[in-house]
Chains A and B, each alone.
Chain A
Amino acid sequence: MTLHDLYLLSPYVATAGMGILVVLLDLVTPRKSLLAAVAVLGVLVAGALTLVQLLDMGGILGGPGLPNLVSDGGVLAGSLSVDRFALFFNFLILAALGLVVLASTDYLRRMPGHQGEYLGLLLFSATGMMMLSAATELITIYIALELTTLPLAALAAFLLTGRSTEAGMKYLIIGAISSAVMLYGMALVFGFTGSTSLEGIAASFRVPAQQDVPFGSYAMLAGVALMLAGFGFKIAAAPFQMWVPDVYEGAPVPVVAFLSVASKAAGFAVLLRVFYTGFLDYDVDWGALLAILAAASMTVGNLAALGQSNIRRLLGYSTIAHAGYILVGVAAVAGVAYSPGAGPAFTTFGPSSVLFYLAAYLAANLTAFIAIIAISNRIESDRISDYAGLVRRSPFLAITLALALVALIGVPPTSIFIAKLYVFTAAVKSGLAWLALAGVINSVISAYYYIRIVRVMFLDAPPSAERIPVPVPSRVALAVVAIATVAIGVAPGLLLTAAEGAVKALAGVAR
């Protein structure tokens, strides 16, 4: 490990180090408000280091050759690739982390004596997610995944109430099963290709002799399927979504907020990198299969959300549906990759639409969740009927929550409208018109349950006239994400450029 390696690893070191610092500080300082400040500082330091790395690569647009910072053999013997793709996700995850920390300052009072652990675990989990988006080797992927999942399981159980403990247990058990399944898949892939690095796996497909291993093709098939199942857990796609509503209902709301955007983003990052770098030349139409998963996720999520009366369960189903929409973009990647005649112009379209969607979804979904954190702090209920007349109790919360819900439907001029536009366009361009149609129909269905909440908030009579106060950090966080939700929808150019630049770092796209 050289000094240069250390520079490349510095964002991860910063978040993990700050996590440790927060835990230690908790032991010595009586001023607990300091802890959140240190956590935010960690986010800022890691963000600044990421920015330095990005500028080192030549900014968002980059030079003609899109140079990466990887020296020969990569970081830590090629197990991580610090490229634009990884940096894009660093920014996303750090943004989500910072906003969630800001929004949970008030919520922290519910867990006296454990604030340091809470913030530390969040930082550790974020470190895992950032590494997951940079990992280029199966074992590193597995370790990063566990680093992501284990703190989240602890965090889900953090309230120590019955429901919260149940949520933590379920997340842990389902996570463990998924890990096991994925690890088995990885073992099969390794057995077939003889390599754990994605480059090596990709190279093995280009050697014709490898295809003749007895049962090799079937073993490989099973390996890919099992790995996909493992990733399906992270991104909450059907049929691996069963844990979502229970965890969303029971876990602390800020943890759910973090889970719904950052964990999902990291899951998609690793999915894109593995399939796009490793399995691109694998002679199976995995795009069509991902398309089916996408359609199933959208439909299951939206239909089950219709009957929900608990807003957190409802948003849990909604996140399953959105995993489906994003998978449409991944499937479109595959469609292009599999049919070589599709032309080079659109090879970046599918994956960059996925990245764009993740950022847009982060803004909109965090807007919803930060508003819900502030509301549930006061009314101690997640029933949608208890949101009646919210506009009179707190116009700010009601309007931002309504904005978020309208954005989640995908109404212009909000971020997700543009995101859906790009994703569905990508689907059509790669011959998956039926999937785009399914997505549009699902969007229409989803309007029903989102708008219902808006109606309750604005038209029904409030049960009490008591105002709902919003603490200043939450107010700032909420304003930032609400403005971002609209800004991405109005001026998508910069983000799209960044997304396109990021996906060019993937080997398959760069070709």
Chain B
Amino acid sequence: MISESFIWAILLLPLASFVVIALVIRPFLDRASALSGRVLIGCLTVALALSLWTLAATAGGAVPDFQPHPWLDVGQATVALGLLVDPITAIMLVVVTGVSLMVQIYSQGYMRGDPSYSRYFAYMSLFTGAMIGLVLSSNIVQLYVFWELVGVASYLLIGFWHHRPAAAAAAKKAFIITRIGDVGFLLAILYLFSQADRFAAAGLDPFHIPDIWQAAQPLATGGAVLGGAALTWVLLGIFAGAAGKSGQFPLHAWLPDAMEGPTPVSALIHAATMVAAGVFLVARFYPLFLASPNAMTVVALIGAFTAFMAATMGLVMNDIKRVLAYSTISQLGYMMAALGVGAYGPAIFHLFTHAFFKALLFLGAGSVNHAAGTFNMRYMGGLRRFMPWTYALTLIGGLSLVGIFPLSGFWSKDEILAAAWQGGGSVEMWVSRLTLGLLLAGVLLTAFYTWRLLHLTFHGEFRGGGEREQSDLAASAPPAAAEVPQHHGAAPAGNHPSGVHLAESPWVMVLPMAALGVAAVAAGFVANPQWVQRLVIFPAHWLTDFLDAGLEHGLGAAAEAVHPIVPKFSLEVALASTAAALVGIGVAMLLYRSRASEAIRDPLERMGPVHRLLSQRYYVDALYEGILVRRVFYRAVAGALDWVDRFLVDGLVNLVGCSVRGVGRGAALFQNGQVQWYGVMIAIGSLLILAGYLVLG
């Protein structure tokens, strides 16, 4: 039995760390800024322990439904604050606190010497705390507050090195694009608010999440409080918010740019906090999605398409973090697709394993950058010999991403594919089949780009690193432009921004990677296929069944009517995906094996227009920035608004301002400083009151 206050502590610890770092350490103890990292690590260690306890308590069925605490009355509706602790929350808590803790330990090495060391950890505290608050919220308004707080914190962290124009632009881009999705989410909440009366009639609270679940279920009298087209629109609104945060097409453009932030931030964004929030949001409202096949179809198709499209873009990127960014978008597509075809457990299982291996890959990329002084893989190569630990761990992460037996990625991806193969969710069969096809093609592409990444980075001969990149840039660019060749996401100036320094990273960076490496290997076994009866303490298929049980508990009486798919292990699917993975790796080996160490040209460039299309990211970014933002928004919309503002609004304001000022001057004239006059005013005032009484009374 875990008491409510311990669970609140999980949320309050990182927030307290934020307050302490921002209000105490940063202004008063800036000399002891090393303290700020330790404060956060200490808080997160306790939070992780409490999260594990919460998970154990939840698995043991010892977590009651906590009563919400009323906070604000808005008209007839009451907004309450509360905790909603179910299996998915318990698992997300462990993922968020665990990955964040590793990232913070690593950051101590990576950010050493940064002039804004404390500010970094303050933002990180806020970011982690906001995400924890998001997964714990039992109220949709509360959830939205934390949702936006995650957005704000990510904005601050992506733009952490705000003196670099690219970082500032990336932060803005991330903020604006996710905001577009958030409009949908907000509209969904406002719709629920407008239905407060109908909810109240059914004895439900329009903001309380379990009540919203109930609202979508058919009533005894027929019909549902929330149903039909309205339900679908609400769900599409929620999905728009989720798609923005999780980088789903067409709102994916911000995620690759988001690596302008420090690399550990990317690791956290891509693994546990920001992008996972979108998937979590859909999972949180899954009982609603189950009631709307149309919304599920949209989720499945968008997810599958994103999984495939992002993988193709990942093929041609030369920047190691960009490859990883596209791989994140692609893997999030897998999760969304899984949710869409009805595989609730597998989707969260994949989120769980992905968090570990993707964080590992990003930390590996940061470690590589520490040595090579660049993120451009064309200038890397041969690092295997200098950094054996980083190599081994990145290899584990990479193969797990591809889905090679028996690493964790294999198990979770296989569950998703098996579920799509099996079908039987609320979507039609062709949707499941199309999803399966796109996802299998995605496996092949994933295998290819992952091997390409490993090969270009670690195999062959070293190709000069950041120093050579600088000289190449200086040679090819006009001198003025070559002066500021700075690297996104690289460690700060004190740490040789482009200096080559071929050695293994310090242990504070390697140890968290090793911990994540162990998780990347082992995390798959928490949901073994059904034929493994028991593994150490985990019963067969534990994690997925645990999640599904939580979902059914949430659905309550309606659980018999709708339920998620529980995929059976299928040897055909496992063989097909392994074959696709091996083909991808094989092709990559063939293409890149023969390349001499000096070759900087990519063999894929021979594909000509296809390569250009992919490396220009399907021109989506160009469309957004060039046409939508510059032409349509700046010129047409902003131009018109500017005219209205300048001539109509300003004119009116000036008119009002002038007249008010004139009156004000007149009012101050009475104030002539003569006390006699003041006394007279009292007499006049009393008479006026008396006159007023006589008139009104």
Contacts and interface: CB of A to CB of B under 8 A. Distances in A.
A242 B681 contact: yes
Contacts of A283: 697
Given A224-B693, A242-B671, A285-B696, A229 B685 contact: yes
B688 interface: yes
B693 A300 contact: no
B694 interface: yes
Contacts of B665: 307
A303 B667 contact: yes
Interface in B656-697: 657, 660-661, 663-665, 667-668, 670-671, 673, 675, 677-679, 681-686, 688-690, 692-694, 696-697
Contacts of B692: 225, 289, 292
A221 B689 CA distance: 10
Contact of B660 (A222, A293, A308, A445): A445
Contact of A174 (B673, B679, B684): B679
Contacts of A228: 689
A239 B684 contact: yes
B660 A289 contact: no
A288 B661 contact: no
Contacts of B678: 170, 174, 242-243
Contacts of A245: 671
Given A289-B693, A303-B667, A229 B686 contact: yes
Contact of B685 (A222, A232, A308): A232
B689 A306 contact: no
A300 B689 contact: no
B696 A284 contact: yes
Contacts of A177: 679, 682
Contact of B664 (A173, A225, A242, A303): A303
B693 A307 contact: no
Contacts of B673: 246
A170 B677 CA distance: 11
A181 B690 contact: no
A304 B671 contact: yes
Chain B, interface size: which category?
20 to 34
Interface in B2-20: none
Contacts of B71: 491, 493
Interface string A197-241: 000000000000000000000000110111011001100001110
A474 B690 CA distance: 45
A173 B667 contact: no
A178 interface: yes
Contacts of A284: 693, 696-697
A174 B690 CA distance: 20
Contact of A169 (B664, B675, B684, B690): B675
Interface string A283-303: 111101100110000001001
A289 B697 CA distance: 9
A302 B247 CA distance: 49
A446 B442 CA distance: 60
Contacts of B696: 284-285, 288-289
Interface majority SS (helix, strand, loop, mixed), chain A: helix
B296 to A, nearest CB: 38
A221 B686 CA distance: 11
Contacts of B664: 303-307
Contacts of A233: 682
A181 B684 CA distance: 12
Contacts of A169: 675
Given A169-B675, A304-B664, A240 B690 contact: no
Nearest to B663: A303
Interface in B312-334: none
B660 A239 contact: no
Nearest to A308: B668
Interface string A476-495: 00000000000000010100
A181 B686 contact: yes
Given A242-B670, A306-B660, A225 B679 contact: no
A303 B658 CA distance: 12
B694 to A, nearest CB: 7
Residue from A289, A308, A445 whose CB has the most chain B CB atoms within 10 Å:
A289
Contacts of A224: 693
A229 B668 contact: no
A396 to B, nearest CB: 9
Nearest to A170: B675
B668 A178 contact: no
B693 A239 contact: no
A221 B682 contact: no
A240 B657 CA distance: 27
A293 B678 CA distance: 17
A173 B675 contact: yes
Residue from B661, B663, B679 whose CB has the most chain A CB atoms within 10 Å:
B679
A346 B689 CA distance: 27
B668 A304 contact: yes
A404 B63 CA distance: 44
B690 A307 contact: no
B148 to A, nearest CB: 14
Contacts of B694: 221
A229 B671 contact: no
B663 A229 contact: no
Nearest to A448: B657
B685 A239 contact: yes
Contacts of B693: 221, 224-225, 284, 286, 289
B307 to A, nearest CB: 41
A267 to B, nearest CB: 15
B660 A178 contact: no
Contact of B661 (A226, A229, A240, A307): A307
A289 B667 CA distance: 21
A245 B675 CA distance: 12
A223 to B, nearest CB: 10
B667 A304 contact: yes
A88 to B, nearest CB: 22
Contacts of B670: 242
A347 to B, nearest CB: 18
Residue from B71, B660, B684, B686 whose CB has the most chain A CB atoms within 10 Å:
B686
A226 B667 contact: no
Given A225-B689, A243-B678, A303-B664, 6 more contacts: A284-B697, A289-B689, A289-B692, A303-B663, A308-B668, A493-B71
9 contacts: A177-B679, A225-B690, A229-B686, A243-B678, A284-B697, A289-B693, A303-B664, A304-B671, A306-B661
